[in-house]
Structure 1
Amino acid sequence: MAEPLAAMERLAEPDIGVFSDLPVPDWRSLMAFKRRFTDPVPKAKETAFAEAGIVMVHGTARFVGADALDVGGEVLEADNFVIAAGSKPVPLPIHGADLVASSEDFLNLDDLPRRIVLVGGGYIAMEFAHLAFRASSEVTVLQRGERLLGGFDPDLVDLLVERTHDLPVDIRPGTAVTVVERTESGFRVHADQEGRHLRFDADLVVHAAGRMPNIQGLDLEKAGVRTGKSGVEVDAHLRSVSNPRVFAAGDAAASGMPLTPKASHDAEVIAANILAGEALRRTDYAGMPSVVFSVPPLARVGLLEEEALAQGLLFRVNHAVTDDWFSARRLNETCSGHKVLIEEGSGRILGAHLVGPHADEVINLFALAIRHGIPAKALAETSFAYPTGGSDVSAMV
């Protein structure tokens, strides 16, 4: 929804004239449309499992030993267990945390409130901010740290934050939320910013301050499974380092980034190792891209500059703001840029960072290059269809 609305906004300027009247989004209809393809998924999965001979057991699972689970009073024993419990919001250390809606709550709203405060400054905050603003809400983002989107290139994040300010979305870095309280008209958020007390009134306050592995209720200590802040501690084969019967995948495993492709990769690795009866396959997260689906999107794959420097690598940096490139100008998009890290000597691409139109698709070309060792020179010499986002790649390397 946010993408087409943003495109119409950009092309509705008087000297462009593609659109004169902009549509007003109907949130309730959008949610109904979403549910038409999300609601059938659980049942379809269960049907597919049943057809494959997989038995589904519903209930809360807890380990009662190294090789046994209790699910609603029924004890299940097995040779292997796979923990794929996903993630949940991190606890907010504030008074009134129970009044803060989760990201799941936000995505299930029948009606979108007029005033929304997002607590946090990561993926969830930026994506929800762009979505809610274009659905006619007033949006405020309160981020405890000084920087938003800490896992992405700071120069490109600055471009996206500036673009988001211009919408306008009220972004407040260095602002620590302390209290959320209910009022007659909604909620009041209290926060501290450099010693100043700030107050924000809202109809909805949303948790956007990160997520954590959802493994706390599994009684893993009874199975001798060692865990850390990032999840179950696993080896390169995704087997628990302390109980070889137990594997962990996706957000539940302390390995790789918390991404959907990572979870799919983990599932393949674990299935191969269990079916083989031995640890044959290792994880390989090389070239796995990550995207913030804002408008425009922000993407990365490979190393950040600081990570490459910490590894002692020698590299050159191709960095440019490209709002004057045709791929941006034809869409009247003012937020566009890239940063590509190329190793000296080998020409190997160490990292690629993009913001702008089609960044979410173009990043896949760099992912392919990183994973399969395609050097920058080969990308520069490749002819891509023009005018497409991919046709910009040769100028980025």
Structure 2
Amino acid sequence: MTAPFDLIVVGAGMAGISAANKAVGAGWRTAIVDELPYGGTCALRGCDPKKILRRGAEIIDAATLMRDKGIDANGLSINWADLMRHTRGFTDPVPANAERELASNGVATLHGTATFTSPSTIDVAGTVYEPRHVLIATGARPRPLGFPGADRVIDSTEFLHLDSLPRRIVFVGGGFISFEFAHIAARVGSTVTIIDRGDRPLRGFDPDLVDLLTARSAAVGVDVRSRTTIDAIDGTESGHAVRLDTPDGAADIDADLVVHGAGRIPNLATLGL
């Protein structure tokens, strides 16, 4: 058993890092652990890289809206590979910078999977600790998809690491992740479909605003299929065949890429709770 900490924070995203810095500033012996690079979803795999991609899409959209109003948008396009390299210029330094700041503040930085071995002990990569407190800040992960062929679906993290964007993309789920990525992909030039099982996408958002968004989506070529579920995804010579159950019966969509945007659940599976 190692020397005790007052607090071990499990999860080195923005919430966990903030808590660890505040705790050590209050005089607590503090450690933080993550099995992934430090920085968390927002800085590495979500909000921040997405904003850079979105900015590229916004430039294309603004130029298109100004066509015949003094702006010639002919030939304007997104080079996805260059845009991704630009994005990584922001995200790649984050883990080392976050860990360096934590260490300089006096926080012990640990790496590996954290699993409770008893109500008072936690194992981190084979070393057992007995802290006075544990703060769980592990965030969320994509919820499991229950249809055959779900292993063919990539998640949003993988989407943000694509070196090229394929021509035909299907997004599973009508949430904000699907809509944000779908609009980016449409501006790049992909043919995009969103599959949503509900009567209206983006449940929980203002219905009038959602209606405006769905109309705008259709205008830029995003095909939103409501009251539609996926029965299965099969492999084909050219990609994937997405088998659908629609209000009008069975239907298929051919896709080069299928992306998970159907919600997230707490990321607790490895904690042994």
Same fold (TM over 0.5): yes
Tell me which amino acid in the other structure corresponds to 1:3.
E
CA displacement at 1:195 relative to structure 2: 5.5
SS at match of 1:21: coil
RCO comparison, higher one (Cα < 8 Å, 6+): 2
Code of the residue aligned with 2:240 in structure 1: it is: F
CA distance in 1, matches of 2:94, 2:109: 15
Give distance in 1, aligned partners of 2:199 and 2:147.
19
1:54 aligns with 2:107: yes
Residue pairs, 1:145-294, within 5 angstroms: 145-194=198-247, 196-220=249-273
Contact 1:8 1:22 in 2 (8 A): no
Q: Distance in 2 between matches of 1:19 and 1:77?
A: 65
Query: CA–CA distance in 1 between the matches of 2:61 and 2:76?
Result: 11
2:61 is equivalent to residue 6 of structure 1: yes
Structure 2-normalised TM-score?
0.78
* Alignment deviations for residues 227-269 of structure 1 (CA, whole Å, 9 cap, x no partner): xxxxxxxxxxxxxxxxxxxxxxxxxxxxxxxxxxxxxxxxxxx
After TM superposition, what 4+ stretches of structure 1 lie above 6 angstroms from structure 2?
none
- State the distance in 2 between where 1:69 and 1:32 align: 38
Partner amino acid for 2:62?
A: A
1:20 positional shift: 4.4
Q: Which amino acid aligns with 1:142?
A: I
Shift of 1:112: 0.4
The CA deviation string for residues 266-324 of structure 1, in whole angstroms up to 9 with x for no partner, is xxxxxxxxxxxxxxxxxxxxxxxxxxxxxxxxxxxxxxxxxxxxxxxxxxxxxxxxxxx
TM-score, length of structure 1 as denominator length: 0.54
Q: What is aligned with 1:86?
A: 139
CA distance in 2, matches of 1:184, 1:101: 18
Which residue is 2:116 aligned to?
63
Q: Which runs of 5+ in 1 are unaligned?
A: 221-397
SS at match of 1:110: coil
Q: Residue deviations 1:137-171, cap 9 Å, x none?
A: 11011101111111201111011101111111111
Residue 102 of structure 1: aligned partner: 155
**1:257 alignment partner in structure 2:** none
Aligned-residue offset at 1:8: 0.6
Maintained 8 Å contact 2:197/2:227: yes
**Post-superposition shift, 1:194?**
2.1
Aligned residues: 218
Identity %: 46
Q: What one-letter code is carried by the residue in structure 2 that aligns with 1:168?
A: G
Residues 324-369 of structure 1: CA deviation (Å, up to 9, x unaligned)? xxxxxxxxxxxxxxxxxxxxxxxxxxxxxxxxxxxxxxxxxxxxxx
